[in-house]
Amino acid sequence: DLLVQDFKDFEIIVVDDASTDESALIAQRVLSDSRVPWKLLGLPVNSGASEARNKGLEAASGKSVFFLDGDDRVEPETLGRLAKAMQETEAPLSFCGFTVSPENGEEGRTYVFPLPPGAASVDSRRLLVTFLRGKRYLNASNVLYDISFLRSTGIRFPRGCRFAEDREFIAKALFHAGKAAVIPDPLVRYIQHGNQSTSRMAKDPSKYAHEAGVYLRLRKYLAERQAEWFLLSSIDSLEIPGSVIRMATSAVLSGREDLFWRIVRSRKLRYLARKGLGAWRTKPEIAFKALLFAFAPELLLHLYRKKAKNR
């Protein structure tokens, strides 16, 4: 898809995260026949998406950078429209709509930011509030960033993080950006594989441990920079409790009830989960689960035992 972009002034940087298949050789063979400047970088050991993206960012020599996972798809006009939107609005980042499609070819679901008529950009902190409340119109593969902006703010993907790392990166970018240019059209297609399905994700407590780490770091980062109270409140009452609760319930769904009890008996995790009681107005389902987590864990366990049997 990148080789047929209408926009021609760009380079391709492929980062091979110590793959065990022939991905690097295939990329090299395809790119060697193209007119687009390219680089192939390799990591000595598999280090995850964060390290791969950071490596690519360090090697980038252009004015902007666009991250794209290997099996995602972009329309021919994607880069050109993102670059034009960023230039016309003088925003340090731009993003477009996207479609999440199952790998079996079934029709996917489209997500497009509801931009007001006549507007070309949105206040980035207002967008961050929306992002922190679960409406994530930005992801790892639909945002173009100004490189000087990323380098001046020092924003990088968190090292060692294996899940939700893009949320931490995006949230920091939105906090600093001031505004974000918006293209209200789905120009990116995200392919969801079987091992990325909601049902499989729900059975992996380690992923939600990484997710909780993302929001704990982000909360500290924003507090140190005197972020508005409503940003911190969204993390405190929604994201951190939600991650902790998902960590516990996924332990039940994966048949690890011993881990469930270790989680709900942890003083620190119980303290973090109880903050979800403040989410009654914004996300009552989190508040309800936080109530069970803190005061009736046996009932929470019973509910998710039933879910596990019905899967």
Full-prediction pTM beyond 0.85? yes
Is the pLDDT reported for residue 222 higher than 80? yes
Total count of domains within the chain: 2
Residue 105 phi, psi dihedral angles, 5° rounding: 90, 0
Same structural domain, 41 and 142: yes
Same structural domain, 132 and 170: yes
Same structural domain, 238 and 140: no
Final residue belonging to a domain, choices 196, 228, 262: 196
Same structural domain, 65 and 180: yes
Same structural domain, 204 and 96: no
pLDDT band, very low/low/confident/very high, at 202 (cuts 50, 70, 90): low
Residue of 205, 189, 215 whose CA lies nearest to 134? 215
Query: Please, is 257 exposed, middle or buried when counting C-beta atoms within 10 Å of its C-beta (0-12, 13-18, 19+)?
Result: middle
Same structural domain, 208 and 126: no
For the CA atoms of 171, 223, 64, 98, the dihedral, rounded to the nearest 10 degrees, stands at 10
Is the pLDDT reported for residue 200 higher than 60? no
Task: Let me know: does 249 contact 304? Beta carbons within 8 Å.
Answer: yes
Q: Which of 67-76, 145-154, 219-228 has the lowest mean pLDDT?
A: 67-76
Q: What is the pLDDT of residues 159-177, one digit of tens each?
A: 999 999 999 999 999 999 9
Domain extent at residue 15: 2-196
The pLDDT score that the predictor gives to residue 105 is: 76
Q: What is the pLDDT of residues 235-259, one digit of tens each?
A: 999 999 999 999 999 999 999 999 9
Same structural domain, 136 and 7: yes
Task: Let me know: does 90 contact 103? Beta carbons within 8 Å.
Answer: no
Is the pLDDT reported for residue 74 higher than 60? yes
Is the pLDDT reported for residue 208 higher than 90? yes
DSSP lists the bridge partners of residue 53 as none
Same structural domain, 50 and 185: yes
Same structural domain, 266 and 208: yes
Same structural domain, 96 and 54: yes
Residue of 201, 208, 218, 233 whose CA lies nearest to 133? 233
CATH number at residue 112: 3.90.550.10
Query: Who has greater pLDDT, 35 or 97?
Result: 97
Same structural domain, 156 and 218: no
Final residue belonging to a domain, choices 171, 196, 221: 196
